[in-house]
Every structure is written in structure tokens, then in C-alpha cells.
Amino acid sequence: MDSLNRVQIKKGMWTKCKECSSILYTESLKNNFYICEKCNYHMRISAKERIREIIDKDTFKEMFKEIKTKNVLNFVGYDEKIRVAKIKSSSDEVVTVGVGSINGISVALGVMDSNFIMGSMGTAVGERITRLVEYASYNKLPLILFTASGGARMQEGILSLMQMAKISAAIGRYKEKGGLYISVLTDPTTGGVTASFAMQGDIIISEPGALIGFAGKKVIENTIKEELPKNLQTAEFLLERGQIDHIVNRKELKEFLFNILDINEGMHYESGC
């Protein structure tokens, strides 16, 4: 027998860090919130994993799952792309929305997953988020959206772009009623999502090292014919310029969110709302 066959390594047992190339034991990585223990790189995680990390056990109730993606423009190859994305992400769309608790405080939560067609925003994504915002508004719940997106979904054309205005308007109405909206930007948050609801948070948080921007860096450089700073479009760059409020390590994120929610509840209690 070939000596190489004697040791069987289970598939997925080890994960390579994209940032520092360290080989990490996947189980330890999971226990460490999918953060590289060598370089603090925050790996991209699924919506399911995010909910597991942030929401109290067994309290999450998914909503609006009946809203599904349709190939309304009959875009060639789109149906197949959706089918593959569902398998790859173990999810039925980019965004999962619902209600759950953070250390006992109820919240309306939406989580985007970049594993599903690069987190692109189509009509189903827009409709699910809008309904979540309206649900939060009606039920006076704080709203938390985790963003991760490559931008608009080109297979849905102008209908995709319209979601920006639709979600933004719903958030505007929610805020007018006094709702608290916390936006958490994760890697990558770009395109139409950045140009709309990602940057509308009353409080905007980001994970370390997250890519946040509108157009790609090369597109900007080619347009303005100038070289741009190396760290442009990172969470750290935006924090320095006041475009986001805080960068929070994933391990401390649940507690950080809870503290904001707790203060918010106290304010409502004092004002009798």
C-alpha cells in the first residue's frame, strides 16, 4: 500500500487563511468565529453561521421565505445560476430575514450571504428586506442588517436597481417613527447596497478589514487617472474619515450590539414609548 494512503485526511478538516496562508484546523476556526488566530483575518461566513453567532439559541424565526427569485426577464443562464447558488450557499437567496433575540432583546434581523451569487441584490432580496423593515416598524422592533454584497444583480436589470430606492424609502419611514437601525458592514459591501441601505444606519459598524466601496478601485483609477491609496475602501480607511462609527471584532460583536440595544430600550422606557 502506498504510504500516502495510510493517513486519511477528512475533507474540510483544514482551512487555509487567505490573508496569511496559515493552515488552520477547521473545528478550531469555527470555535474562533472563523477568525484566523494568526493574523485576525475575518473570513466570510454564511447567513446560518452569522445567526448562530449573534442570535440567542433557538430564538430565530425566519420570515418571508415564500418570496422567491424569479427570472422575470428570461435572462439566459440565470435559472441555472440560481440552482447552483442554492447548492453552494445552502440557502435559497442572498438574504435571510426574521426575528430573534440578542441576550433576551427582540430584534428584526436581516443577514446577507456573499456565497449566493456574490451577495447580489435582486427583487427577492429587496422585497424580503423591505418587508422586514415594515415588520420592524409595525412591531416597534430595533432593526439590524448585516450587509455583504457585490452590488446589484445584473440578470434582473433595472428591477434590481429599483430595490435601492424601495429599501431606502422603507428605512426612511421606519426612522421617522423612531426606529433604531444598526447597519453592520461585512466583507464585501459594495455597489448598490453601499449606495443605499448599508450607509443609512443610525449606527454603522464594520468588521475589521472589510472591503466597503461603491465602484471597484481599478474603475475609479481608470476614470480619474490617478493612483489611489492602498487601503482605500477598507473599514479602517472609512473609520478614519468618519463614514462609519466603529470597527468591532466578530468575537465582541454580539455584546456590542446588545449594549446598544440595552441603551435604546432604556431610553424608550424613560420616555414612556
Binding-site ranges for Zn ion (CB under 5 A):
17, 19-20, 22, 36, 38-39, 41
254 with 263: CB under 8 angstroms? no
Rounded-to-integer distance, Cα 110 and Cα 151, Å: 17
Give the residue with the Cβ less far from Zn ion, 18 or 65: 18
What number of H helices and E strands is found in the chain? Answer: 10, 9
- For Zn ion, the closer of residues 42 and 153 by Cβ is 42
Question: Shortest distance, CB of residue 111 to Zn ion, whole angstroms?
Answer: 24
* Distance in Å, CB of 21 to Zn ion, minimum: 7
Asked if 151 contacts 192 with a C-beta cutoff of 8 angstroms, the reply is yes
**What span, in angstroms and rounded, lies between the C-alpha atoms of 54 and 186?**
14
To the nearest whole angstrom, how small is the minimum distance from the Cβ of residue 146 to Zn ion? 22
Residues 6+ apart with CB under 8 A from 123: 69, 70, 72, 156, 159, 160, 163
* CA distance linking residue 70 with residue 102, whole number of Å: 33
Minimum Å distance from CB 16 to Zn ion?
9
Closest to Zn ion by CB, 35 vs 136, is 35
Q: Which is nearer to Zn ion, 107 or 235 (CB)?
A: 235
Output the smallest distance, CB 43 to Zn ion, in A.
9
How near is the Cβ of 18 to Zn ion at its closest, in Å?
8
DSSP string, 173-232: HHHHTT--EEEEEEEEE-HHHHTTGGG--SEEEE-TT-BB-SS-HHHHHHHHT-PPPTTT
Alpha-carbon gap, residue 167 to 123, rounded angstroms: 11
CA atoms within 13 A on the CB side of 25: 3
Closer residue to Zn ion (CB): 210 or 257: 210
Q: For residues 14 and 138, which CB has a smaller minimum distance to Zn ion in the complex?
A: 14
